[in-house]
Amino acid sequence: MYILTIKELAAMTGVSTRTLRYYDEIALLKPVDYTEAGYRLYNQQSVDRLQQILFYRELKMPLAKVAQAMTQSREQVFHEQRKALQQEHERLEKLLHVIDDALGENRMINEQKFAAFKQEKLAEQEQLYGVESRRKYGEEAIKASYTKYQDMTEEQYKEMQAVEALLIEALRQPSVDEAYVVALHKQWLLFTWVTYTPKMHKGLVEGYLADERFIAYYDRQAGQGATQKLYEAIQHYA
């Protein structure tokens, strides 16, 4: 038999001295003796009892029940605690299902919103450029491009927007890196184009310069003359 001070017991078990004093107050773990100065002292049996208390606490057992459990057989305690843990497990499983259903519902709503957004964009594109696009590229090419756009995921759409933002930033620069601009514009086109050739690329930007709508689109974002810069870069490097 050996004697430990409250500080030594705390250091050995990792339980704070404040907790040990509280266990004493509620008669869960009483000291075996006191020093002349009134300090609590513990022995090996105290250590064993504390380890058992900590084990029950690890099982999520309330302190009020721990004292009762200490008077019961371990087998009985385990059966009761297993039942309680199983009930808690089932409760958490139900909560997880509720959360998963909510996430799935939100995902579906977002997908529906994005699909509607793409349909709106396609309708706008058709109204603005549908007739001339078909005349220039043919019905099958336009249909294939629309299908590719409809199949685009939200992540791909965000990537497409990011590429366009890089293109606009490159066109804003006083000294334009033409090869870089061409690569970005080609990358942007391939999000919706099924077939690409340099000839198609050059033909597209020729149409840009002939259409005030495109001139306004690029010049408004990247500065006056941006559409001309884009045209010249593609004519040189595409």
Condensed to tens digits (0 to 9), the pLDDT of residues 57-95 reads 888 888 888 988 888 877 887 788 788 888 888 888 888
Distance of CA 46 to the CA centre of its chain: 48
Is residue 43 over pLDDT 70? Answer: yes
Condensed to tens digits (0 to 9), the pLDDT of residues 90-134 reads 888 888 887 877 777 777 777 888 888 888 888 887 776 767 777
Share of the chain above pLDDT 70, in %: 99
SS3 content of the chain, % helix, strand, coil (to 5): 75, 5, 20
* Model confidence pTM above 0.85: no
pLDDT band for position 201 (cuts 50, 70, 90): very high
End-to-end CA distance of the chain: 90
